[in-house]
Chains A and B, each alone.
Chain A
Amino acid sequence: MNTEKELTNEFHGRADRIDGSPISFDDVVGRAGAIRRRRRITTGVAALAAAAVIVPTAMFGGGLFDNDAAPDPAKPNTQQVHDAVLDPSLPEGDPPRLAYVDGPTLVQPDGTTVDLGKSYGAPRKAGDEHLGASGFEGGEPSIDVLDQQWNVIDSVPMMNGPVSSADGSVAAWVALDGTVVTRSGGRSLELGKVDGDYVTPVAVLGHDSCTEADGGCRVFVTVQNGSPVSVDSHGIVDVVPGHFTNVAAVSADNLIAGVVTPISAAPTDPVCSAVYDEQAMRQLFKTCDLAFGYSAGFSPDNSLLAGYHSDTDGAGPRSMTIVDARTGEKALGIDLDRAIGKNTSIVGADWEDDDHLLVRTMGPAANAPGAYNLYRVGLDGTVERLLERDYDNGTMTQPWLMMQP
Protein backbone atom coordinates (compact mmCIF):
# COMPACT_ATOMS: atom_id res chain seq x y z
CA MET A 1 0.00 0.00 0.00
CA ASN A 2 1.43 3.38 -0.90
CA THR A 3 1.44 6.48 1.22
CA GLU A 4 -1.51 8.07 -0.50
CA LYS A 5 -3.73 5.03 0.00
CA GLU A 6 -2.54 4.69 3.57
CA LEU A 7 -3.60 8.27 4.19
CA THR A 8 -6.96 7.76 2.56
CA ASN A 9 -7.63 4.72 4.73
CA GLU A 10 -6.49 6.53 7.85
CA PHE A 11 -8.66 9.56 7.12
CA HIS A 12 -11.75 7.52 6.37
CA GLY A 13 -11.19 5.32 9.40
CA ARG A 14 -10.88 8.38 11.57
CA ALA A 15 -13.64 10.52 10.21
CA ASP A 16 -16.33 8.41 8.62
CA ARG A 17 -17.89 7.31 11.87
CA ILE A 18 -18.38 10.89 13.00
CA ASP A 19 -22.04 11.61 12.63
CA GLY A 20 -24.78 13.74 14.09
CA SER A 21 -25.56 17.43 14.14
CA PRO A 22 -24.35 18.92 17.41
CA ILE A 23 -24.64 22.50 16.18
CA SER A 24 -28.11 23.99 16.28
CA PHE A 25 -29.55 26.65 14.01
CA ASP A 26 -29.64 29.01 16.97
CA ASP A 27 -25.93 28.38 17.58
CA VAL A 28 -25.21 29.38 14.01
CA VAL A 29 -27.34 32.51 14.11
CA GLY A 30 -25.68 33.53 17.37
CA ARG A 31 -22.23 33.07 15.91
CA ALA A 32 -23.25 34.93 12.78
CA GLY A 33 -24.24 37.89 14.91
CA ALA A 34 -20.90 37.80 16.68
CA ILE A 35 -19.08 37.77 13.35
CA ARG A 36 -20.99 40.75 12.13
CA ARG A 37 -20.29 42.67 15.29
CA ARG A 38 -16.62 41.94 15.51
CA ARG A 39 -15.96 42.60 11.87
CA ARG A 40 -12.79 40.68 12.06
CA ILE A 41 -10.28 41.26 9.36
CA THR A 42 -8.75 37.87 8.90
CA THR A 43 -5.27 37.38 7.58
CA GLY A 44 -3.65 34.87 5.36
CA VAL A 45 -5.55 32.65 3.02
CA ALA A 46 -8.75 33.10 4.97
CA ALA A 47 -9.01 36.41 3.22
CA LEU A 48 -9.18 34.66 -0.13
CA ALA A 49 -12.24 32.61 0.54
CA ALA A 50 -15.08 34.19 2.37
CA ALA A 51 -17.11 36.88 0.72
CA ALA A 52 -18.16 40.25 2.01
CA VAL A 53 -21.23 39.85 4.08
CA ILE A 54 -23.51 42.82 4.05
CA VAL A 55 -23.04 45.98 2.09
CA PRO A 56 -24.08 48.92 4.23
CA THR A 57 -26.36 51.47 2.69
CA ALA A 58 -24.32 54.29 1.27
CA MET A 59 -25.05 57.68 2.75
CA PHE A 60 -25.18 60.21 0.01
CA GLY A 61 -24.84 63.92 0.51
CA GLY A 62 -24.33 63.78 4.25
CA GLY A 63 -20.86 62.30 4.30
CA LEU A 64 -19.84 58.98 5.74
CA PHE A 65 -20.89 59.54 9.25
CA ASP A 66 -23.90 59.72 11.41
CA ASN A 67 -22.75 62.38 13.82
CA ASP A 68 -24.33 61.86 17.19
CA ALA A 69 -22.19 64.68 18.49
CA ALA A 70 -21.09 67.78 16.68
CA PRO A 71 -17.46 67.95 15.52
CA ASP A 72 -15.21 69.91 17.79
CA PRO A 73 -15.43 73.48 16.46
CA ALA A 74 -12.05 74.30 17.94
CA LYS A 75 -10.37 71.90 15.54
CA PRO A 76 -11.89 72.32 12.10
CA ASN A 77 -10.70 69.88 9.49
CA THR A 78 -8.45 71.77 7.12
CA GLN A 79 -6.65 68.80 5.69
CA GLN A 80 -6.91 68.18 1.99
CA VAL A 81 -8.37 64.81 1.16
CA HIS A 82 -6.36 62.50 -1.10
CA ASP A 83 -6.89 59.05 -2.51
CA ALA A 84 -3.93 56.73 -2.86
CA VAL A 85 -3.78 53.70 -5.12
CA LEU A 86 -1.61 50.71 -4.25
CA ASP A 87 0.11 49.66 -7.44
CA PRO A 88 2.54 46.70 -7.46
CA SER A 89 4.21 48.01 -10.60
CA LEU A 90 5.66 51.00 -8.76
CA PRO A 91 9.45 50.97 -8.39
CA GLU A 92 10.85 49.82 -5.08
CA GLY A 93 11.47 52.63 -2.58
CA ASP A 94 13.43 53.07 0.64
CA PRO A 95 13.03 50.36 3.28
CA PRO A 96 10.71 50.88 6.26
CA ARG A 97 11.88 53.35 8.87
CA LEU A 98 10.50 51.10 11.58
CA ALA A 99 12.17 47.94 12.76
CA TYR A 100 10.22 44.91 11.67
CA VAL A 101 10.08 41.17 12.16
CA ASP A 102 10.18 38.74 9.29
CA GLY A 103 9.66 35.22 10.65
CA PRO A 104 12.36 34.77 13.31
CA THR A 105 14.46 37.67 12.00
CA LEU A 106 14.38 41.20 13.35
CA VAL A 107 15.37 43.77 10.74
CA GLN A 108 16.50 47.14 12.11
CA PRO A 109 15.94 50.37 10.18
CA ASP A 110 19.68 50.47 9.36
CA GLY A 111 19.38 47.06 7.70
CA THR A 112 21.13 45.06 10.41
CA THR A 113 19.39 41.87 11.46
CA VAL A 114 18.98 39.88 14.65
CA ASP A 115 18.05 36.21 14.79
CA LEU A 116 15.37 35.98 17.48
CA GLY A 117 15.43 32.21 17.45
CA LYS A 118 11.71 31.86 16.89
CA SER A 119 8.80 33.58 15.25
CA TYR A 120 7.23 36.05 17.69
CA GLY A 121 4.92 38.00 15.48
CA ALA A 122 5.80 41.56 16.37
CA PRO A 123 7.44 41.92 19.81
CA ARG A 124 6.24 44.87 21.86
CA LYS A 125 8.45 47.27 23.74
CA ALA A 126 8.42 47.40 27.53
CA GLY A 127 11.01 50.02 28.42
CA ASP A 128 14.43 48.53 27.71
CA GLU A 129 12.91 45.09 27.18
CA HIS A 130 10.62 43.56 24.59
CA LEU A 131 7.81 41.07 24.97
CA GLY A 132 7.28 38.44 22.31
CA ALA A 133 4.29 36.10 22.00
CA SER A 134 4.81 32.59 20.76
CA GLY A 135 3.21 29.18 20.88
CA PHE A 136 0.30 29.67 18.51
CA GLU A 137 1.89 27.33 15.99
CA GLY A 138 1.93 24.57 18.59
CA GLY A 139 2.45 24.23 22.30
CA GLU A 140 1.07 26.66 24.83
CA PRO A 141 0.92 30.38 24.06
CA SER A 142 3.50 32.21 26.11
CA ILE A 143 5.14 35.58 26.55
CA ASP A 144 8.92 35.69 26.29
CA VAL A 145 10.66 38.63 27.97
CA LEU A 146 13.64 39.68 25.86
CA ASP A 147 16.46 41.83 27.20
CA GLN A 148 18.29 44.54 25.28
CA GLN A 149 20.46 41.91 23.59
CA TRP A 150 17.31 40.01 22.57
CA ASN A 151 18.04 37.16 24.95
CA VAL A 152 15.04 35.45 26.55
CA ILE A 153 15.21 36.18 30.28
CA ASP A 154 11.76 34.94 31.25
CA SER A 155 8.86 33.05 29.74
CA VAL A 156 5.33 32.88 31.13
CA PRO A 157 2.10 31.27 29.87
CA MET A 158 -0.50 33.69 28.61
CA MET A 159 -3.98 33.96 27.18
CA ASN A 160 -3.46 37.00 24.96
CA GLY A 161 -1.10 39.87 24.29
CA PRO A 162 1.14 41.72 24.42
CA VAL A 163 0.34 45.40 23.82
CA SER A 164 2.41 48.48 24.59
CA SER A 165 1.79 52.04 25.66
CA ALA A 166 2.29 54.75 23.06
CA ASP A 167 5.77 55.58 24.35
CA GLY A 168 6.77 51.92 24.66
CA SER A 169 7.60 52.19 28.33
CA VAL A 170 4.84 49.87 29.56
CA ALA A 171 3.48 46.65 28.09
CA ALA A 172 0.72 44.32 29.17
CA TRP A 173 -0.67 40.87 28.55
CA VAL A 174 -3.42 38.67 29.95
CA ALA A 175 -2.44 35.58 31.91
CA LEU A 176 -4.22 32.25 31.48
CA ASP A 177 -6.59 32.94 34.38
CA GLY A 178 -7.60 36.36 33.03
CA THR A 179 -5.24 38.38 35.19
CA VAL A 180 -3.92 41.51 33.47
CA VAL A 181 -0.15 41.66 33.90
CA THR A 182 2.03 44.65 33.08
CA ARG A 183 5.76 44.88 32.47
CA SER A 184 7.81 48.04 32.94
CA GLY A 185 11.17 48.90 34.38
CA GLY A 186 12.19 45.26 34.31
CA ARG A 187 9.44 44.02 36.60
CA SER A 188 6.05 42.41 36.15
CA LEU A 189 3.01 43.59 38.04
CA GLU A 190 -0.46 42.04 38.23
CA LEU A 191 -3.20 44.67 38.03
CA GLY A 192 -6.34 42.59 38.42
CA LYS A 193 -8.34 39.71 37.09
CA VAL A 194 -10.98 40.01 34.40
CA ASP A 195 -13.75 37.43 34.24
CA GLY A 196 -14.94 36.14 30.90
CA ASP A 197 -13.78 34.27 27.85
CA TYR A 198 -10.92 35.20 25.61
CA VAL A 199 -9.81 38.34 27.42
CA THR A 200 -7.64 40.35 25.05
CA PRO A 201 -5.56 43.43 25.86
CA VAL A 202 -6.10 46.28 23.43
CA ALA A 203 -4.16 49.25 24.78
CA VAL A 204 -2.14 50.52 27.70
CA LEU A 205 -2.28 54.08 28.98
CA GLY A 206 0.66 54.96 31.17
CA HIS A 207 4.30 55.93 31.31
CA ASP A 208 7.35 54.19 32.75
CA SER A 209 5.67 52.47 35.67
CA CYS A 210 2.43 50.80 36.69
CA THR A 211 2.84 51.12 40.43
CA GLU A 212 0.27 53.26 42.23
CA ALA A 213 3.04 55.36 43.76
CA ASP A 214 4.29 56.37 40.31
CA GLY A 215 0.92 57.38 38.99
CA GLY A 216 -0.13 53.98 37.73
CA CYS A 217 -1.33 52.79 34.38
CA ARG A 218 -4.49 51.45 32.82
CA VAL A 219 -5.05 48.53 30.49
CA PHE A 220 -8.06 48.23 28.17
CA VAL A 221 -9.24 44.72 27.40
CA THR A 222 -12.01 43.18 25.36
CA VAL A 223 -13.98 40.19 26.57
CA GLN A 224 -15.66 37.75 24.24
CA ASN A 225 -19.42 37.96 24.71
CA GLY A 226 -19.03 40.68 27.34
CA SER A 227 -18.44 44.39 27.71
CA PRO A 228 -14.90 45.72 27.35
CA VAL A 229 -13.30 46.80 30.60
CA SER A 230 -10.26 48.67 31.80
CA VAL A 231 -8.06 47.58 34.67
CA ASP A 232 -5.95 50.10 36.52
CA SER A 233 -3.12 50.10 39.02
CA HIS A 234 -5.57 50.35 41.89
CA GLY A 235 -6.92 46.99 40.84
CA ILE A 236 -10.21 48.54 39.73
CA VAL A 237 -11.92 46.72 36.87
CA ASP A 238 -14.45 49.02 35.24
CA VAL A 239 -16.62 48.91 32.13
CA VAL A 240 -15.26 51.12 29.38
CA PRO A 241 -17.57 54.10 28.85
CA GLY A 242 -19.18 54.75 25.50
CA HIS A 243 -21.45 51.70 25.26
CA PHE A 244 -18.90 49.69 23.32
CA THR A 245 -19.29 46.00 22.60
CA ASN A 246 -15.60 45.83 21.84
CA VAL A 247 -12.73 48.28 21.81
CA ALA A 248 -10.41 48.44 18.83
CA ALA A 249 -7.99 51.21 19.79
CA VAL A 250 -7.35 53.77 22.51
CA SER A 251 -5.33 56.92 21.97
CA ALA A 252 -2.90 58.39 24.47
CA ASP A 253 -5.31 61.31 24.91
CA ASN A 254 -8.20 59.01 25.87
CA LEU A 255 -10.11 58.66 22.62
CA ILE A 256 -11.68 55.22 22.44
CA ALA A 257 -12.62 53.59 19.13
CA GLY A 258 -14.65 50.42 18.79
CA VAL A 259 -17.87 48.70 17.87
CA VAL A 260 -21.08 50.01 19.44
CA THR A 261 -23.67 47.75 17.87
CA PRO A 262 -25.20 45.78 20.75
CA ILE A 263 -24.50 42.08 21.10
CA SER A 264 -28.23 41.50 21.03
CA ALA A 265 -28.61 43.10 17.59
CA ALA A 266 -29.89 40.95 14.75
CA PRO A 267 -27.16 39.44 12.57
CA THR A 268 -28.40 41.40 9.61
CA ASP A 269 -28.25 44.76 11.38
CA PRO A 270 -25.42 47.02 10.26
CA VAL A 271 -22.35 46.94 12.45
CA CYS A 272 -21.51 50.42 13.63
CA SER A 273 -18.41 51.82 15.27
CA ALA A 274 -17.79 55.03 17.16
CA VAL A 275 -15.13 57.19 18.74
CA TYR A 276 -15.72 58.29 22.31
CA ASP A 277 -13.84 61.06 24.09
CA GLU A 278 -13.38 59.82 27.62
CA GLN A 279 -12.21 63.17 28.94
CA ALA A 280 -15.18 65.03 27.50
CA MET A 281 -17.45 62.06 28.25
CA ARG A 282 -19.17 62.16 24.88
CA GLN A 283 -19.33 60.26 21.65
CA LEU A 284 -17.55 62.21 18.93
CA PHE A 285 -18.91 60.37 15.93
CA LYS A 286 -20.41 57.11 14.81
CA THR A 287 -20.03 55.27 11.52
CA CYS A 288 -21.62 52.19 10.06
CA ASP A 289 -19.24 52.20 7.09
CA LEU A 290 -15.91 51.75 8.82
CA ALA A 291 -14.53 49.28 11.35
CA PHE A 292 -11.44 50.17 13.36
CA GLY A 293 -10.39 46.73 14.59
CA TYR A 294 -7.23 45.07 13.27
CA SER A 295 -6.19 48.29 11.64
CA ALA A 296 -3.38 50.74 12.39
CA GLY A 297 -5.44 52.51 15.04
CA PHE A 298 -4.69 56.09 16.01
CA SER A 299 -1.80 57.97 14.43
CA PRO A 300 1.16 58.69 16.72
CA ASP A 301 -0.07 62.27 17.23
CA ASN A 302 -3.60 60.97 17.89
CA SER A 303 -5.13 63.19 15.22
CA LEU A 304 -6.13 60.46 12.75
CA LEU A 305 -7.65 57.01 12.90
CA ALA A 306 -7.33 54.19 10.37
CA GLY A 307 -10.31 52.04 9.46
CA TYR A 308 -11.33 49.34 7.07
CA HIS A 309 -14.63 49.37 5.31
CA SER A 310 -17.00 47.34 7.39
CA ASP A 311 -18.31 45.22 4.54
CA THR A 312 -15.02 43.38 4.19
CA ASP A 313 -15.53 40.61 6.68
CA GLY A 314 -13.88 37.44 5.56
CA ALA A 315 -13.04 38.40 2.02
CA GLY A 316 -10.39 40.82 3.20
CA PRO A 317 -10.45 44.55 2.60
CA ARG A 318 -9.29 46.14 -0.62
CA SER A 319 -9.48 49.65 0.72
CA MET A 320 -8.91 51.69 3.84
CA THR A 321 -10.01 55.11 4.96
CA ILE A 322 -8.08 57.37 7.29
CA VAL A 323 -10.34 59.75 9.17
CA ASP A 324 -9.99 62.68 11.50
CA ALA A 325 -10.05 61.04 14.92
CA ARG A 326 -12.37 63.69 16.36
CA THR A 327 -14.77 64.37 13.52
CA GLY A 328 -14.72 61.19 11.46
CA GLU A 329 -14.17 63.17 8.29
CA LYS A 330 -12.16 61.46 5.61
CA ALA A 331 -8.52 62.47 5.40
CA LEU A 332 -7.17 59.79 3.06
CA GLY A 333 -8.49 56.93 1.00
CA ILE A 334 -6.34 53.91 0.15
CA ASP A 335 -7.40 51.48 -2.55
CA LEU A 336 -5.85 48.56 -4.32
CA ASP A 337 -5.34 49.18 -8.00
CA ARG A 338 -8.34 47.86 -9.91
CA ALA A 339 -6.05 45.82 -12.10
CA ILE A 340 -4.98 43.76 -9.09
CA GLY A 341 -6.76 40.41 -8.89
CA LYS A 342 -9.81 40.19 -6.68
CA ASN A 343 -8.12 37.69 -4.39
CA THR A 344 -5.60 40.26 -3.24
CA SER A 345 -6.42 42.19 -0.10
CA ILE A 346 -4.94 44.45 2.56
CA VAL A 347 -3.75 42.30 5.45
CA GLY A 348 -2.19 44.85 7.76
CA ALA A 349 -1.25 48.47 8.30
CA ASP A 350 0.93 50.42 10.73
CA TRP A 351 1.66 54.07 11.25
CA GLU A 352 5.27 54.71 10.27
CA ASP A 353 5.03 58.30 11.53
CA ASP A 354 2.37 61.01 11.77
CA ASP A 355 2.21 61.36 7.99
CA HIS A 356 2.79 57.86 6.63
CA LEU A 357 1.24 54.42 6.83
CA LEU A 358 2.89 51.14 5.96
CA VAL A 359 0.31 48.89 4.29
CA ARG A 360 0.74 45.16 3.59
CA THR A 361 -1.16 43.37 0.89
CA MET A 362 -1.36 39.70 0.09
CA GLY A 363 -2.54 37.85 -2.97
CA PRO A 364 -2.17 34.46 -4.58
CA ALA A 365 1.28 33.38 -5.70
CA ALA A 366 2.33 30.84 -8.27
CA ASN A 367 4.65 28.84 -6.04
CA ALA A 368 4.05 30.06 -2.51
CA PRO A 369 1.11 30.46 -0.13
CA GLY A 370 1.02 34.18 -0.76
CA ALA A 371 2.59 37.07 -2.62
CA TYR A 372 3.10 40.07 -0.37
CA ASN A 373 3.71 43.71 -1.06
CA LEU A 374 4.54 46.47 1.39
CA TYR A 375 3.67 50.06 0.56
CA ARG A 376 4.34 53.41 2.16
CA VAL A 377 1.33 55.68 1.81
CA GLY A 378 1.56 59.38 2.62
CA LEU A 379 -1.30 61.52 3.80
CA ASP A 380 -0.60 63.59 0.69
CA GLY A 381 -1.62 60.61 -1.45
CA THR A 382 1.88 59.53 -2.41
CA VAL A 383 2.58 55.81 -2.62
CA GLU A 384 5.90 53.96 -2.58
CA ARG A 385 6.26 50.21 -2.92
CA LEU A 386 8.87 49.07 -0.43
CA LEU A 387 9.16 45.30 -0.50
CA GLU A 388 7.76 42.44 -2.48
CA ARG A 389 8.03 38.69 -2.30
CA ASP A 390 6.43 35.35 -2.77
CA TYR A 391 6.44 34.23 0.81
CA ASP A 392 6.70 30.73 2.16
CA ASN A 393 8.74 30.19 5.29
CA GLY A 394 6.46 27.43 6.58
CA THR A 395 5.63 29.32 9.76
CA MET A 396 2.38 30.91 8.61
CA THR A 397 3.80 34.18 9.87
CA GLN A 398 3.32 37.18 7.67
CA PRO A 399 6.42 39.08 6.64
CA TRP A 400 7.16 42.64 7.76
CA LEU A 401 5.40 42.83 11.09
CA MET A 402 6.27 46.30 12.26
CA MET A 403 7.60 47.00 15.71
CA GLN A 404 5.20 49.40 17.35
CA PRO A 405 5.77 51.77 19.00
Chain B
Amino acid sequence: MAQDRGSAKDAEFSDWMAARQAALLRTAYLLTGDHHGAEDLVQQTLAKVYLTWGKVRDRDAIDGYARRILVNENNSIWRRAWKKRETVSDQVPDWVPAHDAYDEGRSSALWNLVQTLPRRQRAAVVLRYYEELSEAETADVLGVSVGTVKSQTSRALATLRTNAPDHGISRALDLGEEER
Protein backbone atom coordinates (compact mmCIF):
# COMPACT_ATOMS: atom_id res chain seq x y z
CA MET B 1 0.00 0.00 0.00
CA ALA B 2 2.87 2.33 0.84
CA GLN B 3 4.32 1.56 -2.54
CA ASP B 4 1.00 2.42 -4.16
CA ARG B 5 0.99 5.75 -2.40
CA GLY B 6 4.54 6.34 -3.55
CA SER B 7 3.66 5.47 -7.12
CA ALA B 8 0.67 7.77 -7.06
CA LYS B 9 2.78 10.57 -5.66
CA ASP B 10 5.43 10.01 -8.31
CA ALA B 11 2.84 9.99 -11.06
CA GLU B 12 1.25 13.18 -9.79
CA PHE B 13 4.61 14.88 -9.47
CA SER B 14 5.66 13.66 -12.89
CA ASP B 15 2.56 15.18 -14.46
CA TRP B 16 3.14 18.50 -12.75
CA MET B 17 6.79 18.45 -13.73
CA ALA B 18 5.98 17.78 -17.39
CA ALA B 19 3.58 20.71 -17.41
CA ARG B 20 5.85 23.20 -15.67
CA GLN B 21 9.38 22.31 -16.69
CA ALA B 22 9.57 24.51 -19.77
CA ALA B 23 8.28 27.56 -17.92
CA LEU B 24 10.76 27.00 -15.12
CA LEU B 25 13.55 26.66 -17.68
CA ARG B 26 12.63 29.96 -19.27
CA THR B 27 12.73 31.84 -15.99
CA ALA B 28 15.88 30.00 -14.94
CA TYR B 29 17.59 31.01 -18.16
CA LEU B 30 16.82 34.65 -17.52
CA LEU B 31 18.12 34.34 -13.98
CA THR B 32 21.32 32.49 -14.78
CA GLY B 33 22.13 33.77 -18.25
CA ASP B 34 23.27 30.41 -19.53
CA HIS B 35 21.51 27.26 -20.57
CA HIS B 36 23.51 24.74 -18.62
CA GLY B 37 23.13 26.78 -15.48
CA ALA B 38 19.41 27.06 -16.07
CA GLU B 39 19.00 23.33 -16.54
CA ASP B 40 20.97 22.61 -13.42
CA LEU B 41 18.98 25.16 -11.45
CA VAL B 42 15.68 23.69 -12.61
CA GLN B 43 16.81 20.17 -11.79
CA GLN B 44 17.71 21.31 -8.28
CA THR B 45 14.38 23.06 -7.94
CA LEU B 46 12.40 20.07 -9.16
CA ALA B 47 14.29 17.82 -6.77
CA LYS B 48 13.38 20.03 -3.83
CA VAL B 49 9.77 20.17 -4.91
CA TYR B 50 9.80 16.39 -5.24
CA LEU B 51 11.10 15.97 -1.72
CA THR B 52 8.31 18.10 -0.30
CA TRP B 53 5.56 16.92 -2.64
CA GLY B 54 3.83 14.78 -0.08
CA LYS B 55 3.77 17.59 2.44
CA VAL B 56 2.23 20.30 0.33
CA ARG B 57 -1.50 20.28 0.87
CA ASP B 58 -2.38 23.14 -1.41
CA ARG B 59 -1.50 21.91 -4.89
CA ASP B 60 -2.45 25.30 -6.31
CA ALA B 61 0.45 26.81 -4.40
CA ILE B 62 3.04 24.50 -5.93
CA ASP B 63 3.90 26.78 -8.83
CA GLY B 64 4.65 29.68 -6.52
CA TYR B 65 6.57 27.44 -4.20
CA ALA B 66 8.69 26.15 -7.07
CA ARG B 67 9.33 29.70 -8.25
CA ARG B 68 10.53 30.68 -4.78
CA ILE B 69 12.93 27.77 -4.70
CA LEU B 70 14.18 28.56 -8.19
CA VAL B 71 14.92 32.19 -7.45
CA ASN B 72 16.38 31.67 -4.03
CA GLU B 73 18.50 28.72 -5.07
CA ASN B 74 19.97 30.96 -7.72
CA ASN B 75 20.64 33.64 -5.16
CA SER B 76 22.41 31.47 -2.67
CA ILE B 77 26.10 32.07 -2.31
CA TRP B 78 26.99 28.44 -2.03
CA ARG B 79 25.14 27.52 -5.18
CA ARG B 80 26.85 30.12 -7.29
CA ALA B 81 30.21 28.56 -6.55
CA TRP B 82 28.90 25.12 -7.39
CA LYS B 83 27.12 26.19 -10.51
CA LYS B 84 30.26 27.77 -11.83
CA ARG B 85 31.88 24.38 -11.83
CA GLU B 86 28.97 22.53 -13.29
CA THR B 87 28.35 24.83 -16.19
CA VAL B 88 31.73 24.27 -17.82
CA SER B 89 30.97 22.23 -20.90
CA ASP B 90 31.45 22.26 -24.63
CA GLN B 91 28.12 20.56 -25.27
CA VAL B 92 25.12 22.60 -26.20
CA PRO B 93 21.81 21.35 -24.79
CA ASP B 94 19.37 20.23 -27.46
CA TRP B 95 16.66 22.53 -26.18
CA VAL B 96 18.60 25.70 -26.96
CA PRO B 97 16.90 27.60 -29.79
CA ALA B 98 18.63 26.74 -33.04
CA HIS B 99 18.88 30.36 -34.05
CA ASP B 100 18.62 33.23 -31.64
CA ALA B 101 18.10 36.48 -33.42
CA TYR B 102 18.63 38.25 -30.14
CA ASP B 103 22.31 37.45 -30.23
CA GLU B 104 22.87 40.44 -32.49
CA GLY B 105 22.55 44.14 -32.13
CA ARG B 106 21.03 46.20 -29.43
CA SER B 107 19.20 43.40 -27.67
CA SER B 108 22.43 41.51 -27.19
CA ALA B 109 23.94 44.56 -25.59
CA LEU B 110 20.96 44.94 -23.29
CA TRP B 111 21.14 41.27 -22.41
CA ASN B 112 24.80 41.63 -21.55
CA LEU B 113 23.99 44.61 -19.42
CA VAL B 114 21.28 42.74 -17.54
CA GLN B 115 23.81 40.06 -16.68
CA THR B 116 26.02 42.60 -14.92
CA LEU B 117 23.30 43.22 -12.35
CA PRO B 118 23.70 41.74 -8.87
CA ARG B 119 21.66 38.58 -8.62
CA ARG B 120 19.00 39.96 -6.34
CA GLN B 121 18.42 42.94 -8.58
CA ARG B 122 18.33 40.70 -11.60
CA ALA B 123 15.85 38.41 -9.92
CA ALA B 124 13.69 41.39 -9.08
CA VAL B 125 13.55 42.64 -12.68
CA VAL B 126 12.98 39.15 -14.10
CA LEU B 127 10.07 38.60 -11.75
CA ARG B 128 8.65 42.05 -12.32
CA TYR B 129 9.15 42.39 -16.09
CA TYR B 130 9.13 38.80 -17.35
CA GLU B 131 6.93 36.96 -14.91
CA GLU B 132 5.00 40.22 -14.57
CA LEU B 133 4.46 39.72 -10.88
CA SER B 134 3.30 42.57 -8.71
CA GLU B 135 5.68 44.12 -6.20
CA ALA B 136 3.92 42.22 -3.43
CA GLU B 137 4.15 38.92 -5.30
CA THR B 138 7.81 39.56 -6.07
CA ALA B 139 8.45 40.33 -2.41
CA ASP B 140 6.83 37.04 -1.46
CA VAL B 141 9.00 35.09 -3.88
CA LEU B 142 12.19 36.77 -2.73
CA GLY B 143 11.28 36.62 0.94
CA VAL B 144 11.80 40.36 1.39
CA SER B 145 9.64 43.39 1.97
CA VAL B 146 7.85 45.30 -0.77
CA GLY B 147 10.15 48.21 0.02
CA THR B 148 13.18 46.07 -0.74
CA VAL B 149 11.65 44.99 -4.04
CA LYS B 150 11.10 48.63 -4.93
CA SER B 151 14.64 49.61 -4.03
CA GLN B 152 16.22 46.61 -5.78
CA THR B 153 14.20 47.19 -8.93
CA SER B 154 14.91 50.89 -8.86
CA ARG B 155 18.63 50.28 -8.46
CA ALA B 156 18.60 47.78 -11.29
CA LEU B 157 16.88 50.16 -13.68
CA ALA B 158 19.19 52.98 -12.64
CA THR B 159 22.22 50.78 -13.25
CA LEU B 160 20.95 49.78 -16.67
CA ARG B 161 20.37 53.39 -17.64
CA THR B 162 23.69 54.57 -16.27
CA ASN B 163 25.76 51.82 -17.85
CA ALA B 164 23.98 51.69 -21.17
CA PRO B 165 26.52 53.85 -23.02
CA ASP B 166 29.39 51.62 -21.88
CA HIS B 167 27.64 48.65 -23.48
CA GLY B 168 27.06 50.27 -26.80
CA ILE B 169 23.49 51.27 -26.10
CA SER B 170 22.42 54.78 -26.82
CA ARG B 171 21.05 55.71 -23.42
CA ALA B 172 18.33 58.04 -24.51
CA LEU B 173 17.40 56.21 -27.70
CA ASP B 174 17.48 52.61 -26.60
CA LEU B 175 16.48 52.68 -22.99
CA GLY B 176 13.72 55.18 -23.24
CA GLU B 177 15.46 57.81 -21.19
CA GLU B 178 13.26 60.46 -22.68
CA GLU B 179 10.14 58.69 -21.51
CA ARG B 180 11.07 58.44 -17.86
Contact = CB atoms under 8 A, between A and B. Distances in A.
Interface of A: 1-8, 10-23, 25, 27-29, 31-32, 34-36, 40, 42-51, 53-54, 136-137, 141, 159-160, 197-198, 267, 313-314, 343, 364-369, 394, 396-398
Residue from the set A12, A14, A34 with the largest chain B CB neighbour count within 10 Å = A14
Given A17-B97, A18-B95, A44-B75, A8 B43 contact: no
Nearest to A370: B144
Helix, strand, loop or mixed for chain B's interface?
helix
Given A23-B39, A366-B148, A18 B81 contact: no
Contact of A11 (B39, B75, B96, B126): B126
B102 A10 contact: yes
Given A49-B68, A51-B52, A396-B118, A15 B43 contact: no
Contacts of A5: 176
B168 interface: no
A11 B130 CA distance: 6
Contacts of A364: 143-145
B161 interface: yes
B47 A14 contact: no
Given A10-B107, A198-B86, A369-B120, A50 B47 contact: no
B10 interface: yes
Contacts of A14: 29-30, 100, 102, 107, 111
Interface size class of B (residues with CB under 8 A): 35 or more
Given A10-B110, A15-B26, A23 B21 contact: yes
Given A3-B180, A46-B72, A394-B118, A21 B22 contact: yes
A369 B144 contact: yes
A267 B17 CA distance: 18
A113 to B, nearest CB: 23
Contact of A7 (B22, B50, B102, B114): B114
B163 interface: no
B79 A136 contact: no
Contact of B47 (A8, A32, A136): A32
Contacts of B46: 23, 28, 31
B123 to A, nearest CB: 9
Given A1-B176, A3-B161, A23-B39, A141 B84 contact: yes
A181 to B, nearest CB: 17
B130 A369 contact: no
B160 A396 contact: no
B76 interface: yes
Contacts of A343: 143
Contacts of B73: 42, 46, 49-50
Interface in B6-27: 10, 13-14, 17-18, 21-22, 25-27
Contacts of B77: 43-44, 136, 396-398
Interface string B142-180: 111101100100000100110000000000001110011
Interface in B66-110: 68-69, 71-73, 75-82, 84-86, 93-97, 100-102, 107, 110
